[in-house]
Amino acid sequence: MKGKRHFPLLAFVVFTVIFFLTFSMQVIDARKHHHHRKKGKSHKHQKSNGAANSPAPGPAPLPSYGFHPNSSGIFNVLSFGAKGDGGADDSKAFLAAWKAACNVPGATVEIPAELKFLVKPITFQGPCMPNLSFQIDGTLLAPPKISSWTKYSLFQWINFKWVHNFTIQGNGAVDGQGSSWWKANSKKFKHISNMKPTAIRFYASYNVTVRDIEITNSPQCHLKFDSSSGIKVDNVTISSPESSPNTDGIHLQNTQDVEIKYSNIGCGLRDLWGWDDCVSIQTGCSNIHIHHIDCGPGHGISIGGLGKDKSIGCVSDIIVEEISLQNTLAGVRIKTWQGGMGSVKNVTFSNIQVADVKVPMIIDQFYCDKNICKNQTGAVAISGVKYDQIIGTYSAQPVHLACSSDIPCTDVDLIDIQLKPSMRYGGFQPALCWNSYGKSQAPLLPSSIDSCLRRDHGSLVKRIAGFPEHIC
């Protein structure tokens, strides 16, 4: 809806105003500070590149807590009292380092190598001076016991809120220590019900890069971006054991302009329903480019589920290419509940290699997380979905395009599909296309794919005329 779309813009304006207020106060403070130092004791000569008018001063006024950073703008958490022994609670030290670094343009919060830092559920809040980075060379550990999480902290473990031009990088790891959550019996921990924390979440954040780090064993989702834009994820490793249910890799919601590349994601069960997607794209997402990803085990790369409880789902302009999937439930999938509204438009899946994937290509407009869901009229309309070079082996069914009986899928293109049954399995089902219109182009294997799509556009126009098109 219109209001929803305007939120990021409004938020952006608010943050920009806050940012400039903060920024101008910094400049004033820095001047005072400079003046003061002139009169005071001698001090080391500041490195200067001669840009006298640069609005970015040298080190900004130092906060009253913790130790001072050195001239490189590095704020080591050890200098703020972190123990790094894996047992002591280092949350306060992390927050203090964050607050200090937040005031300095281009600062780095350093989490040093070879140490383990236990951090409780925590929010790192901006806006900060731009180009702040979080250098994770050591390991961050979540509290291992469920009882140490309050019911207010269940949404996520590490929350970045209102940050912009921000980077997480390093050779280190973020370990959600989720094993007790995976087997948690919900009677014992009433307050957790179905809610389990995401390991790292970004909320209302812009121009964020996450690179090189490893994120493991999250109680639920590993890396989530919510109401954000300008996101880059590069060369990350995300993993949790096969016995971990509901552990999505990367989850995008109401987020635009995203690139996820050169990453390795394997989480969770292959066979059970629930969320275990390597990448999950939810409503409000557009302009998403995902490429060079190894995915498996898990549920593959998914758009949706959209339209649950008659809600509006809007997803557009998605490119998923150069992907290798091994041992996953789905390959590339679009799933919507019956009865929803909105649309999925302009999606390309190309150069997808599959090995032992149960069903490599899925459109499921009858998505249901129980055994039976009530039949409902209306659906999130799907149009402009191109599959190009989907190649490899399947273990149950090559293609399953089950479109809504009310609103067919249109402009579905199948080009160069080469899917063979996996030698390790038996009992295969033929390709299925239900109410899906489009064209196909050889090579197509199995050849039944060729006759899968419907081509008679004439009757179509009448059938979809009754449904609202511009709701997104």
Identified catalytic residue from 164, 222, 299, 400: 299
- List % helix, strand, coil for the chain (3-state, nearest 5): 15, 40, 40
247 and 268 Cβ atoms separated by less than 8 Å: yes
Nearer to ligand NAG, 187 or 470 (CB): 470
Within a 10 A sphere around the Cβ of 78, how many other Cβ atoms?
A: 18
CB 326 to ligand NAG: min, Å: 20
Spell out the alpha helix ranges (H) of 249-395: none
433 CA to centre of own chain: 30
Overall size of the chain counted in residues:
472
- In the bound state with ligand NAG, the residue whose beta carbon lies nearer, of 221 and 285, is 285
Shortest approach of ligand NAG to residue 342 CB, angstroms?
16
Contacts of 432 by beta carbon, 8 Å cutoff, 6+ apart: 397, 399, 400, 401, 402, 452
Q: How far is the CB of 366 from ligand NAG (least distance, A)?
A: 8
Q: Which is nearer to ligand NAG, 76 or 246 (CB)?
A: 76
Which of 438, 394, 391, 437 lies closest to 413 in space, CA to CA? 438
423 Cα distance to chain centroid: 34
What residue ranges bind ligand NAG (CB under 6 A)?
56, 67, 69-70, 72, 74, 76, 79, 105-106, 110, 130-131, 164-165, 171, 206-207, 212, 230, 235, 287, 317, 319, 346, 372, 374-375
Residues 6 or more apart from 61 whose CB is under 8 A from it?
A: 26, 29, 30, 32, 33, 103
- Measuring CA to CA, which residue among 350, 331, 417, 335 is closest to residue 382? 335
Residue type, 145: K
* CA distance between the termini of the chain: 6
Least Å distance, CB 316 to ligand NAG, is 7
Closest C-alpha among 333, 445, 322 to residue 393: 445
Shortest reach from residue 213's CB to ligand NAG, in Å: 7
The answer to whether 336 and 382 are in contact (CB under 8 A) is yes
* 276 noted as active-site residue: yes
Q: Is residue 299 flagged as an active site residue?
A: yes
Residue 361 or 385 with smaller CB distance to ligand NAG: 385
Q: Which is nearer to ligand NAG, 67 or 189 (CB)?
A: 67
Q: How far is the CB of 66 from ligand NAG (least distance, A)?
A: 10
Q: How far is the CB of 130 from ligand NAG (least distance, A)?
A: 3
Which one, 64 or 185, has the nearer CB to ligand NAG? 64
Tell me how many helices (H) and strands (E) the chain has: 4, 30
Q: Which is nearer to ligand NAG, 206 or 337 (CB)?
A: 206
- What element of type H or E holds 414? strand 409-421
Cα 188 to Cα 147, 152, 192, 385: the distances in Å are 10, 17, 9, 45
Tell how strand 250-253 and strand 279-281 pair up: parallel
In the complex, the smallest distance separating the C-beta of residue 136 from ligand NAG, rounded to whole angstroms, is 9
**Catalytic residue of the set 90, 212, 276, 277:** 276
Neighbouring residues of 151: CB distance < 8 A, sequence distance ≥ 6 = 191, 192
CB nearer to ligand NAG: pick between 357 and 433 = 433
Cis amide linkage into residue 197, ω under 30° from 0: no
CA Rg value for the chain: 25
Rounded to the nearest whole angstrom, what is the least distance from the CB of residue 184 to ligand NAG in the complex?
31
Nearer to ligand NAG, 125 or 346 (CB): 346
Contact of 100 with 75, CB cutoff 8 Å? yes
Which residues are part of the catalytic machinery?
276, 299
